[in-house]
C-alpha cells in the first residue's frame, strides 16, 4: 500500500495546478498531510481543546493525555529509552538552537572545538557559529569527498580531544547522502564529545533508533513527516537533558516561583515554557500512526526505487547535471539543466503542474562547495509514483526546448 | 498561466546579451544586494555627477528575470536625475504588482509586466531596482 494507493488519503494531491494534475516533488521542504492527521487536529479542536497540565476539569485531562500521549509516541517512534527524553519544539531549528544556546554555551570555552560538515543546513550551522562567537570555541569542518560523502578517516582526523560537540545531519537535503552518524558518534564519544544528529531529513524516510545510533541529541521536524507545521522534537539523553538550563522562562516550566528566585521542573517540561503546541503534538502522533501503518521500511524502499528511476531518467537528459553520489542516496535529486537558472526551470515546471524547489536550499556553503549559486531539487515521498518521475523528465525535456527557443 | 507572458523575447535578449554588465574603474557608489530566499545577488555601481546618473553597471548572479531586469534598469537610468531614477523604480514596482503603467523612456522594461502573473518571481524582477533605490536613498 504505497505510492498510488496512498494518494487518495492526501486530499491536497487531488487538484489541478495551472491546468495539469499536481505533481508534488517538494517533500524535502515540507510534506503533505493525510486525512487522518487533518482529522486528528480537527477532532482535538472540536472535542478536547484545553490547556495542559493545569486544569482539573475533564477537557484539561483529555488535552494533557493527548499531549503526553504524543510524547510517548515520539519516544517509541525513534526508540528513545524514556519518554522524558523527548522535548516538544517548533521543529528542528528550534531544537538545535536549544541545544546550542543551552548546552553549547555552557560547555564550550576558548580553544574548544565544535565539529560540523560543510553540507549542513543553515539551521545546524548558524546556531554553532553563534556559540563559537560567544565562547571563543572554534568551528571545524569534516571535509567532503569529491562525491559529497564523508570518509571516516577524515572524521578521525577532524575530531580531537578539544572537540566538545559534533553536530551532523543524518541525511543531506541537497546531496541525498546518508551520513555515517553512528560511526561518527562512536568517534566523538571516544574523545568525550557529545553527538548531535539533525534528523530533519532522515526521520520521515527511514526507521530511526536513537539508542542504536548512540547519539546524545537528535532532532526532528513534524511537518516533513506528514504532521502539521510548528511541531517537532528534540531527543536528549536523560542524564544530559537534566543538566541543561532552560532558555525560555514562563508558565508551565517552573517548579517553584518566588519574588527573586525560581526553580524549574525536570526535563523535558523545563524546556516547554508557555502553553505548548498541543494540537501540533496531536497531529504529530496521528502522523506517526500513519507512517507506522505504511511501514518505514516500505517507505524507504519505495523512495529508493523512485530515486534510482529519477537518476536514470533525468541523467539521460543531455545537459542535466545531478549533484551528489548516484548510489546509496535517499529519495531526492538535486540538479541543474544546462545553464538555465533553476528559478526559470522551476517556473516552467510549475506551469506544467510540477512543484520542485529552486534555490540554495538553506545550504549556501554547500552551494559554494558545489560551485553553483543555486540548484533545482525534486524530492519524493510515499505518495509519489513512477508516473510523477516520467512527468518530471518529460517536463524537463520541454523546459530545455523552451529555453533553447526563447534564447535561440 | 502562459509562460510566454513571462519569458518574452526581449527579456531573453537582455539575459543573453546583458547591457552594462561589468564594473567601473573609477570610485563610484557600489550597492551589493542579495535575495536571501533564493541566493540571487547583484552588485550595482552608479556613476553619479551633479545629481545625474551618468552611467550604471552591474555584476551578479541570478535567473533570467533578475538579470534581464538589471540590464534594462541600467539602460533606463542613464542620464536621469536621482529623482527621476527613483520615480522609475516606483513605476517599476507598480508595474510588477499589476498596475497599468508605461515606460516611454525605455520600452523594453514593459516586457517585464508579465511578472505580475507570477507572484513568486516578483522579487527576482525587483532586485536590481531595489539596489538602485538603496544606492540613491542611503548614499554611502
A343:B61 CB<8 A: no
Distance of alpha carbon B103 from the chain centroid: 13
Segments of chain A scoring below 50 in pLDDT:
none
Q: What is the pLDDT of residues A336-379, one digit of tens each?
A: 999 999 999 999 999 999 999 999 999 999 999 999 999 999 99
Minimum mean pLDDT range among A284-293, B72-81, B111-120: B111-120
State pTM to two decimals: 0.94
Among candidates B2, B16, B61 on the partner chain, residue whose Cβ is nearest the Cβ of A407: B16
Cis peptide before A268 (omega within 30 of 0): yes
Q: What is the pLDDT of residues A92-123, one digit of tens each?
A: 999 999 999 999 999 999 999 999 999 999 99
- Decide if B41 touches A, using CB distance below 8 A: yes
**Cα B67 to Cα B46: distance, rounded to the nearest angstrom:** 17
- Decide if B121 touches A, using CB distance below 8 A: yes
Comparing CA positions, the residue from A344, A91, A85 lying closest to residue A227 is: A91
**Cα A164 to Cα A116: distance, rounded to the nearest angstrom:** 11
- Decide if B36 touches A, using CB distance below 8 A: no
Tell me how long chain B is.
140
- Decide if B64 touches A, using CB distance below 8 A: yes
Catalytic annotation present for A362: yes
Higher pLDDT, B26 or A185: A185
Give the gyration radius of chain B's Cα atoms: 14
Nearest CA in chain A to B14: A407
| CB contact at 8 A, B93 and B100 | no
Distances in whole angstroms, Cα of residue A46 to Cα of each of A41, A49, A63, A280, A288: 9, 7, 12, 14, 21
**Residues on chain A touching B62 (C-beta within 8 angstroms):** 341, 343, 373
Q: What is the pLDDT of residues B91-105, one digit of tens each?
A: 999 999 999 999 998
B121:A343 CB<8 A: yes
**Cα A373 to Cα A379: distance, rounded to the nearest angstrom:** 19
A373:B40 CB<8 A: yes
ipTM: 0.88
| CB contact at 8 A, A319 and A338 | yes
Nearest chain A CA: its distance from B40 CA (Å): 8
A374:B124 CB<8 A: no
pLDDT at A404: 85
Cell 525587483, residue? B126
B38:A18 CB<8 A: no
Amino acid at each position: 500500500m504505497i505510492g498510488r494507493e496512498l494518494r487518495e488519503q492526501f486530499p491536497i494531491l487531488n487538484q489541478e495546478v495551472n491546468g495539469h494534475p499536481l505533481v508534488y516533488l517538494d517533500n524535502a521542504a515540507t510534506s503533505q498531510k493525510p486525512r487522518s492527521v487533518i482529522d486528528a487536529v480537527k477532532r482535538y479542536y472540536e472535542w478536547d481543546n484545553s490547556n495542559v497540565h493545569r486544569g482539573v476539569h475533564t477537557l484539561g485531562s483529555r488535552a494533557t493525555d493527548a499531549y503526553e500521549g504524543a510524547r510517548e509516541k515520539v519516544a517509541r517512534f525513534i526508540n528513545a529509552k524514556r519518554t522524558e527524553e523527548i522535548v516538544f519544539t517548533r521543529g528542528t531549528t528550534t531544537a538545535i538552537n536549544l541545544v546550542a544556546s543551552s548546552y553549547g554555551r555552557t560547555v564550550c570555552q576558548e580553544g574548544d572545538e565544535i565539529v560540523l560538515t560543510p553540507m549542513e543546513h543553515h539551521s545546524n550551522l548558524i546556531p554553532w557559529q553563534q556559540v563559537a562567537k560567544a565562547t571563543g570555541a572554534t568551528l571545524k569542518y569534516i571535509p567532503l569527498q569529491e562525491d559529497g560523502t564523508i570518509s571516516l578517516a577524515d572524521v578521525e582526523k577532524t575530531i580531537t580531544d578539544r572537540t566538545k560537540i559534533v553536530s551532523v545531519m543524518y541525511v543531506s537535503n541537497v546531496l541525498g547522502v546518508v551520513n555515517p552518524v553512528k560511526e561518527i558518534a562512536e568517534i566523538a564519544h571516544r574523545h568525550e564529545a557529545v553527538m548531535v544528529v539533525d534528523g530533519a531529513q532522515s526521520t520521515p524516510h527511514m526507521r530511526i533508533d536513537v539508542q542504536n545510533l548512540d547519539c546524545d541529541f537528535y532532532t526532528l521536524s513534524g511537518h516533513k513527516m506528514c504532521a502539521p507545521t510548528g511541531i517537532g522534537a528534540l531527543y536528549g539523553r536523560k542524564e544530559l537533558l537534566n543538566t541543561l538550563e532552560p532558555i525560555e522562562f514562563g508558565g508551565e516550566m517552573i517548579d517553584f516561583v518566588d519574588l527573586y528566585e525560581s526553580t524549574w521542573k525536570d526535563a523535558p517540561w523545563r524546556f516547554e515554557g508557555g502553553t505548548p503546541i498541543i494540537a501540533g503534538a496531536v497531529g504529530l502522533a496521528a502522523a506517526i500512526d500513519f507512517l507506522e501503518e505504511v511501514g518505514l521500511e516500505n517507505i524507504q524502499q519505495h523512495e529508493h526505487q523512485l530515486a534510482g528511476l529519477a537518476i536514470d531518467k533525468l541523467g539521460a537528459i543531455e545537459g542535466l547535471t545531478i549533484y551528489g553520489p548516484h548510489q546509496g542516496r535517499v529519495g531526492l535529486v538535486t540538479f541543474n539543466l544546462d545553464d538555465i537558472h533553476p528559478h526559470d526551470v522551476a517556473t516552467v515546471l510549475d506551469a506544467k503542474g510540477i512543484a520542485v524547489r529552486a534555490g540554495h536550499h538553506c545550504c549556501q556553503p554547500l552551494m559554494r562547495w558545489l560551485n553553483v549559486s543555486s540548484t533545482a531539487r525534486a524530492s519524493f515521498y510515499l505518495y509519489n509514483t513512477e508516473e510523477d518521475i516520467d512527468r518530471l523528465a518529460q517536463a524537463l525535456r520541454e523546459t530545455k526546448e523552451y529555453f533553447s527557443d526563447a534564447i535561440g | 498561466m502562459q509562460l510566454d507572458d513571462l519569458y518574452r523575447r526581449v527579456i531573453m535578449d537582455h539575459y543573453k546579451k546583458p547591457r552594462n554588465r561589468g564594473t567601473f574603474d573609477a570610485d563610484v557608489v557600489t550597492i551589493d544586494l542579495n535575495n536571501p530566499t533564493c541566493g540571487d545577488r547583484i552588485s550595482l555601481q552608479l556613476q553619479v555627477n551633479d545629481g545625474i546618473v551618468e552611467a550604471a553597471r552591474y555584476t551578479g548572479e541570478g535567473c533570467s528575470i533578475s538579470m534581464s531586469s538589471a540590464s534594462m534598469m541600467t539602460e533606463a537610468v542613464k542620464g536621469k536625475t536621482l529623482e527621476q531614477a527613483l520615480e522609475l523604480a516606483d513605476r517599476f514596482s507598480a508595474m510588477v504588482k499589476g498596475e497599468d503603467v508605461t515606460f516611454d523612456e525605455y520600452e523594453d522594461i514593459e516586457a517585464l509586466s508579465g511578472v505580475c502573473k507570477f507572484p513568486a518571481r516578483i522579487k527576482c524582477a525587483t532586485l536590481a531596482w531595489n539596489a538602485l533605490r538603496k544606492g540613491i536613498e542611503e548614499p554611502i
